[in-house]
Amino acid sequence: MEQRALGPFRVGAIGLGCMNLCHAYGEPLSDAEAERLLLGALELGVDHFDTAALYGFGASETQVGRALARHRSRFTLASKCALEGRAGDDGVKRRVIDGRPEAIRRTCEEALRRLQTDIIDLYYLHRWDKAVPIEDSMGAMADLVREGKIRAVGLSEVSAVTLRRAHAVHPIAAVQSEYSLWSRNAEIAVLDACRDVGAAFVAFSPLARGFLAGAIRDAGAVDAWTAKDLRRGMPRFQREHLEANLRWLPDYLSLAAEADCTPAQLALAWLLHKAPHILPIPGTTKLAHLEENLHAARVSLTPDLFARLEALVNERTVSGPRYSAATQAEIDTEEFTASARG
């Protein structure tokens, strides 16, 4: 597979996001199933694994550590802090954003134990805690680099302005945000800012949470999702918006057929053709889907097909915001105005 820069590392252009193993969609994999998937990914040539303290409230890091620790020299390991599960007075764990230096240090120490490693290659601030100056959080991350606990620093779901403020404290190796044909916010400013400061842009949810893989063909599909499926709370999967988005899906599927690839491969190929500093990290629970995704690196898109694809799926044709108002308030990314969305 083509190699791309991920900060100081060289990795395959397509990595593996490890959220799906135990978090967000459907039933979590058993530990044995997760291990088979992770080891299978390694054998297929994946050398960039991305996890986080939040995923399964530590379960994903534990699964990655258990399966891959003995192969540590064969891949680049990324994880994230400042967004985790924390038990309340009732004993129930809930997601908490905490970017204080002491919280960052604690989360890193816990991650190192779960991942069964003495150093994390790329450690992201999963969310900027707006109650803490970004400079303070970056100071803590820089301390972890100096102490040899992490090799490089990343940010997730931040604006170009915040990226530049953070980069002034310590070099930023990568920014990770949602980016796909149907979530184009990165094109407003942060994609260019990454190029300017020499950071990679890691695209999560590059398949639009399954939509661009053709996994959702009718609005009734939502009814079969588990109660904990994150998409149930996302506006684009509410019936009115979903029905509107399903109207252009057949044309998208036709473009995939024209490109002689699967719908998922078309979405990933678009990202790879968009800019050389973009690295998508699709997640999956099925080895066959992973192999399909990796083959997207072989797909060639003509300029004409690329243009028609962008004209079909963009911020004006996709119905609904990507997050609810409450979730949107937690992130720092640039957003299209209502007029720009059409």
DSSP code per residue over 166-220 = HHHHS-EEEEEEE-BTTB-GGGTTHHHHHHHHT-EEEEESTTGGGGGGT---SGG
Q: Report the C-alpha gap between 60 and 66 in whole angstroms.
A: 10
Residues near 299 by beta carbon (within 8 Å), at least 6 away in sequence: 259, 260, 261, 265, 266, 268, 269
Residue 342 pLDDT more than 90? Answer: no
Structural domains of the chain, ranges and CATH numbers in brackets:
3-209+264-299 (3.20.20.100)
**Is 31 exposed, middle or buried (CB count within 10 Å of its CB: 0-12, 13-18, 19+)?**
middle
Q: What is the mean pLDDT of residues 214-224?
A: 92
The residue behind tokens 């102490």 is 147
The confidence score (pLDDT) of residue 109 equals 98
pTM over 0.75: yes
3-state secondary structure of 108: helix
Helix 101-115, helix 134-146: angle, nearest 10: 40
Catalytic residue flag (residue 55): yes
What pLDDT is attached to residue 23? 84
pLDDT attached to residue 339 = 53
Whether residue 337 is predicted with pLDDT greater than 90 in this model: the reply is no
Return the half-sphere exposure (C-beta side, CA atoms, 13 A cut-off) of residue 156: 23
Catalytic hit among 55, 123, 124, 252: 55
| pLDDT single digits (tens) 163-194 | 999 999 999 999 999 999 999 999 999 999 99
Compute and round to an integer the Cα radius of gyration of the chain. Answer: 19
